[in-house]
Amino acid sequence: MHNDSRRPRALTPEKQQRLIELVARGMKIEEAAKRTGCSGKTVQRERRRSPLFDYLLGKARQGAPSRKPTLADWRASRTPGPEARVGRWLRRVAEGDPAP
């Protein structure tokens, strides 16, 4: 049975998107985490839980995405749940429209 009394996640999809944007602008992950209201440990934990978030954050550290999304990105953008919003955001960025 699912326990609904768990704490809500500190790193929401909106905060993930903001963190990725800050890192893409050159901010260190720890500083971007503080600015989004979570710790560096929270970011590390979320990177282990979400391969898509880990990938996007890695790409952000290298600079803005300079490629079209892959099939994996496309599939992630169509799955239900919080990762879908991040996948859709990646698709928009790759197409040149990073606005939310």
- Does 7 map to a domain? no
pLDDT at position 83 = 61
Q: Is 60 exposed, middle or buried (0-12, 13-18, 19+ CB in 10 A)?
A: buried
pLDDT, tens digit, for every residue of 12-53? 888 999 999 888 888 889 999 999 999 999 999 999 988 888
pLDDT at position 11 = 87
> What is the C-alpha to C-alpha distance for residues 23 and 97, in angstroms, rounded to an integer?
18
- Count CB atoms within 10 A of the CB of residue 26: 10
Question: In the chain, how many domains are there?
Answer: 1
- Does 66 map to a domain? yes
- Does 85 map to a domain? yes
Which residue range is the domain that position 43 belongs to? 13-94
Per the confidence metrics, is the pTM higher than 0.85? no
pLDDT, tens digit, for every residue of 49-72? 888 889 889 888 887 544 555 666
